[in-house]
Structure formats: C-alpha cells, structure tokens
Amino acid sequence: MERPRILTGDRPTGRLHLGHYVGTLANRVRLQDTYQCFFIIADLHMLTTKYEYLAEVGRDVRELVLDYLAVGIDPNKSTTYLQSQVPEVTELATIFSMLVSVPRLQRVPTLKEVMRDLRIGTASLGLLSYPVLQAADILMVRASLVPVGKDQASHVEVTREIAQRFNALYGDVFPVPEALIGDVPTLPGTNGTAKMSKSLDNAIYLADDPGTVQRRVMGMYTDPTRIHSTDPGHLKGNPVFIYHDVFNPNKAEVAELKARYRAGKVGDVEVKRRLVEALTAFLAPIQERRRQFAEQPSLVEAILRQGSELARQEARRTLVDAKRAMGLDYFSASFARDD
Ligand code: ATP
Ligand code: MG
C-alpha cells in the first residue's frame, strides 16, 4: 500500500535556525520512513515579502538543501523540490481562490504579524492569498499531514476549509490534512521575543560556528528584573532556560541550575556558559554532516532536479483529477464527438 503523504517546507529566505529544528525539522526527520515526504522550497511564497535582491536566491536555496541534509533528511527517502518548477500549482491556487473569501484571509493571524514585523503598510494580493497558494502546495501532492510550527497552524486550517469546500462542491478529490505541531510549538528568540525568526535577527542558526553560538548566547535576554547574581531569578519566559529545557540532554544539570537561579545562587554567565556547551554539542554532528554534503557540488542540483520532476508529475495528475471533477475537462468529455 502507498504510504500516506506529508508536505511541508520553507521559504528560501536564509539559513535554518533552532526554531525550525524544534518546530518542524525534527518531525520531518522522524517521519520520513512512515510517510512519503514532499519538502517544498517555497520560492513563490518568498516573493510575498522579499522580491528585491533576488540575486541571492540561488545561494539561499542551496543553503536550505544543505541544512535539510545536515539534520538528517534523506534524499533517497523523500522528495525535495522547488515550488517555481511546478507551475501547475499556480493553476490550482487560482481555482482555490474562488473557494475562500477575502475577509476570511484577512482574519488569518500571521498576516497581521508579518505586516507588523516587516512594517508592511498594505498587503499585496499575493501576501493576502499566501494561505491559498499553500493550500495548493499541500493538496497538489494530496498530503494528509503537514508538520509545521504553531504559527502555521492557521494556514493549514485554511487548507482544510478549501479541501472541504472543494469536495462538497465537486466530489471527494482531496484529503483534509492535519497540521502536526512540533514538540516546541514556538521557540522564542534570543532577544526574548515570542518567536525566533530569520527576519527578526534573534536566531541561532544550525550552521553557526561555536564562536558565533557563544556570542549569541552570552548576549541573550534573561530575567530583566534581576540586577545582581544574588537576586532570586525568574524562569518563566526566560529563553535561556527554555533553550536549556529543549537542547540540554543533561536534565539533572538543568534542574540544579534552575534551583540555584531561583535562589539567587548562580550568575547568568554560568547558566549561559553551560547553554553554550549544550548547544555546541547539539550542533556538532549536524555541522559535520553539512560539511560532508557541501563538498559534493552537484548533489544539491541533482536532488532539486529529480525532486521537482517527481513533484510535477504528481501535480499534473492531481490537476487532471480536479478539473475532471469540476467539469473543466473539455476535450475528453464536454464536447460532443462527431464519430
Ligand atoms: P521568515 O522570517 O522568513 O518568515 P521564519 O524564521 O519565520 O522565516 P519560515 O520559513 O516562516 O521561518 O518557517 C518555516 C517553518 O518553520 C514553518 O513550519 C514555521 O512554523 C517553522 N518555524 C519558524 N520559526 C519557528 C520557531 N521560532 N519555533 C517553531 N517553529 C518555527
Ligand atoms: Mg515566518
């Protein structure tokens, strides 16, 4: 029997960070044996917020694929492809755009967040319909599971509504997919903001060398109410301890640090120093794999070429089925034949 399918991915807007890892990459790696996985490099979605400096996109795509390989995504088990190499997806998105209202899309919370964070005054039509294009990506390969960070759950909800509406109008063509949120739904940024994000300059990247990790951790936001290391510290909303909980496998050490912190018996510097050690150890095998793959210059291109070809075959098949269900398959059915 065919394995159920996953679709998820990233916009090629820069290297991947710890937030991506806990939000979605860990799930991708874990599920690649049980699911047939499609990983999309969403370069059309990139255009919703970044259409200048496109000269860099080739490099960003390559870095992204190297990050995938580094965390353990196996190109022999999964399909990684470029969204813009599958033009059928835009046709499906056009069809889907008839099935969702403008106010519905205006209510999607990420729209307001992106506009606030990137200081966008008025949304373009493309930014507004971001979730519609995403629905087309997901349903094009008939994915039933979408491993994403919590910020993306509202987008998967739009996909579900579109699939349900399409199926109700034209018959059962699409699965109604579920979002799979990572162990840490949203990893906060090093500056204490709610979300680590490429565009907010508050990230620790999977490819950061030990010196950079150290610099970023030592500069991290902690408990602002604590002036001296003898003041009792707060753990809630303190990203240093959130990262310890997630990335430090030595649970006894974390428990001990927390107890001493609450009691005002340990300085921020020591807590951070131990975090640097934990993160460096976590990143070392990832970076070793990255180095090995980076030495094979034609690998990334081969993965993307083959992946995009396969995704496109899926897309063509799905589009034929969708249009047939809608009665849009003129030449095979709708026109009467002479013979
Ligand atoms: P950008 O700033 O360009 O939007 P980003 O860092 O927000 O970049 P995306 O490409 O938007 O990253 O997200 C890719 C995937 O990673 C999505 O599934 C998203 O939910 C997840 N993700 C991103 N940041 C985090 C985070 N801090 N915690 C958990 N998941 C995250
Ligand atoms: Mg984002």
Domains annotated for the chain, with CATH where assigned, are: 5-187+297-335 (3.40.50.620), 210-292 (1.10.240.10)
Phi (first) and psi of residue 29, to 5 degrees: -65, -40
Q: Would you place residue 335 in the very low, low, confident or very high pLDDT band (cuts 50, 70, 90)? A: low
pTM of the model: 0.92
Closest-CA residue to 272 (of 229, 333, 214): 214
Nearest Cα residue to atom 19 of ligand 1: 149
> Which residues are near ligand 1 (CB < 6 Å)?
10-11, 13, 19-20, 22-24, 148-149, 151-152, 186-187, 195-199
DSSP 277-307: HHHHHHHHHHHHHHHHHHT-TTHHHHHHHHH
Q: Could you give the 3-state DSSP secondary structure of residue 195?
A: coil
Query: Whole-angstrom Cα distance, residue 259 to residue 185?
Result: 25
Residue 73's pLDDT is: 98
With 90 as the cut, is the pLDDT of residue 241 above it? yes
Average pLDDT of the chain?
94
Nearest Cα residue to atom 6 of ligand 1: 197
Query: Whole-angstrom Cα distance, residue 171 to residue 222?
Result: 54
Residue 334's pLDDT is: 56
With 90 as the cut, is the pLDDT of residue 284 above it? yes
Contacts 24+ apart (CB under 8 A), 195-199: 195/19, 195/151, 196/17, 196/18, 196/19, 197/19, 197/117, 198/13, 198/14, 198/15, 198/17, 199/13, 199/49, 199/117, 199/118
Question: Residue 197 C-alpha to ligand 2 middle, in angstroms?
Answer: 7
CA 22 remoteness from chain centre: 10
The residue whose CB lies within 8 Å of the most ligand 1 atoms, and thus the one to mutate among 197, 200, 205, is 197
Mean pLDDT value of segment 11-17: 93
Query: Whole-angstrom Cα distance, residue 60 to residue 62?
Result: 5
Q: Per mean pLDDT, which range of 49-63, 115-129, 136-150, 235-249 is the poorest?
A: 49-63
Residue pair 47/11 in contact by the 8 Å Cβ criterion: no
Q: Which helix (H) or strand (E) holds 38?
A: strand 36-41
